[in-house]
Amino acid sequence: MLSERRLQVLRAIVQDYVGTEEPVGSKALTERHNLGVSPATVRNDMAALEDEGYIAQPHTSAGRIPTDKGYRLFVDKLAGVKPMTAPERRAIQNFLDGAVDLDDVVARTVRLLAQLTRQVAVVQYPSLTRSTVRHVELLSLAPARLMLVLITDTGRVEQRMVDCPAPFGEAALADLRARLNSRVASRRFTDVPRLVEDLPDAFEADDRGTVSTVLSTLLETLVEENEERLMIGGTANLTRFGHDFPLIIRPVLEALEEHVVLLKLLGEAGDSGMTVRIGHENAYEGLNSTSVVSVGYGSGGEAVAKLGVVGPTRMDYPGTMGAVRAVARYVGQILAES
């Protein structure tokens, strides 16, 4: 177990390195933080910390930098979440309050988060499977072509084309629409499959094919992988990565375009509370030199989706976590209001 002072030394190393981007030496440490001990003592502590794998030196005779394990300890034990100041909170609220619909909320959230943290922001749309149905609509576009529109209580709207096996009359359409809504409105999406499974039985033989097609399209939209969407922003902040960045930045950009990868990443994060994945803790290789800070947000007590940021492992964790948490809170409020 590490002594109290050694933990403080680690904390000081992380803070200085995050600030300066340069390996930090024993002398500089004692000057900038009053640890009450001499550089020689700090050197001993550093040697111990290095033995334990919390810090490393890029080259012999350079200062130390934290390892992923060092950041992990820092986040878990040595640092809290830095709360937003009152003016910052007001700014967040003002920025989000103008949103007119869900797309706008998500877009604004991405911008805001990117700006606050100066990192890449990732915001997931509210998951269908965690929302309730507000309305299901069926439009007839052509004799054998329908459009299915799903609307959730979180304001999300999904539409899908349905090619019917046979023409479908106006009367049957109205019937299906009414029955569908009476069964699923205000119900959770996860219950929908069970609630509609016997619907075709209520229709004439000629129409059952179409009804089944509509229902299977409906169920398809609820399948995970299909239903999750997200928006990213602030990629320009990747340029703040470091000097060596050409090699780092490319896989990160690639990962950011692979929404599936990001969704998986967010999915792996804990369901409640804030999750920080540091460097190699991220399963996806391209993100091995980044950290991902994410948290769920939702209108009530329950999270309907996640949001977060992706940045260099050398990031200001307390500040980033504070911003992410605050934004998630306000987004939740906005969703609850609408």
By the rule CB under 8 A, 250 interacts with its own copies: yes
Instruction: Return the one option of its own copies, DNA, none that residue 301 interacts with (CB less than 5 to 8 A, by type).
Output: none
Nearest of 65, 45, 63, 47 to residue 55 by alpha carbon: 65
Residue 20 near DNA by CB under 7 A: no
Nearest CA-CA partner of 113 in 258, 312, 310: 310
Contact of residue 26 among DNA, its own copies, none (CB under 5-8 Å per partner type): DNA
261 forms part of the interface with its own copies (CB under 8 A): no
CB of 293 to its own copies, least distance (A): 20
From its own copies, DNA, none, which one binds at residue 134 (CB under 5 to 8 Å depending on kind)?
its own copies
Cα 262 to Cα 121, 133, 155, 189: the distances in Å are: 11, 26, 23, 23
- Contact with DNA (CB under 7 A) among 9, 46, 114, 211: 46
Q: Assess 301 for contact with its own copies (CB under 8 A).
A: no
Selection from DNA, its own copies, none that 185 binds (CB < 5 to 8 A by kind) is none
| Candidate residues 37, 56, 253, 261; the one interacting with its own copies per rule CB under 8 A | 253
Q: Binding of its own copies at residue 309 (CB under 8 A)?
A: no
| Choice between 6 and 118, CB closer to DNA | 6
Distance CA 279, CA 56 (A): 15
87 burial (CB, 10 Å; 0-12 / 13-18 / 19+) is: exposed
Residue 234 touches its own copies, criterion: CB under 8 A: yes
56 vs 151, which CB is nearer to its own copies? 151
In the complex with its own copies, the residue whose CB is nearer, 50 or 137, is: 137
User: Please, what is the minimum distance in Å from the beta carbon of residue 61 to DNA?
Assistant: 3
Measured CA to CA, the distance from residue 85 to residue 304 in angstroms comes to 26
Q: Considering the rule CB under 7 A, would residue 57 count as an interface residue with DNA? A: yes
Chain-centroid distance, C-alpha 274: 10
| Residue 139 binding: pick among DNA, its own copies, none (C-beta 5-8 Å cut-off by kind) | its own copies
Exposed/middle/buried for residue 4 (C-beta within 10 Å: 0-12, 13-18, 19+):
exposed
For its own copies, the binding residues in 126-145 under the rule CB under 8 A are 134-135, 137, 139, 141
In contact, 329 and 297? CB cutoff 8 Å: yes
Contact partner at residue 298 from its own copies, DNA, none, CB < 5 to 8 Å by partner kind: none
Q: Would you give the DSSP letter of residue 168?
A: -
**Residues whose CB is less than 8 angstroms from the CB of residue 103 and which lie 6 or more positions away in sequence, other chains included:** none
Non-local CB neighbours of 212 within 8 Å, separated by 6+ positions: 200
Strand partners, 308: 122, 294
Gap between the Cα atoms of 331 and 281, Å rounded: 27
Which burial class, exposed, middle or buried, applies to 130 when counting CB atoms under 10 A from its CB (0-12, 13-18, 19+)? Answer: middle
Q: Which does 61 bind (CB under 5 to 8 A by kind): its own copies, DNA, none?
A: DNA
User: At 252, which helix (H) or strand (E)?
Assistant: helix 245-257
Residue numbers at the binding site for DNA (CB under 7 A): 5, 23-28, 36-41, 43-44, 46-47, 50, 57, 59-64
Rule CB under 8 A: which residues touch its own copies? 100-101, 134-135, 137, 139, 141, 147, 149, 151, 157, 159-161, 233-236, 238-239, 245-246, 249-251, 253-254, 256-257
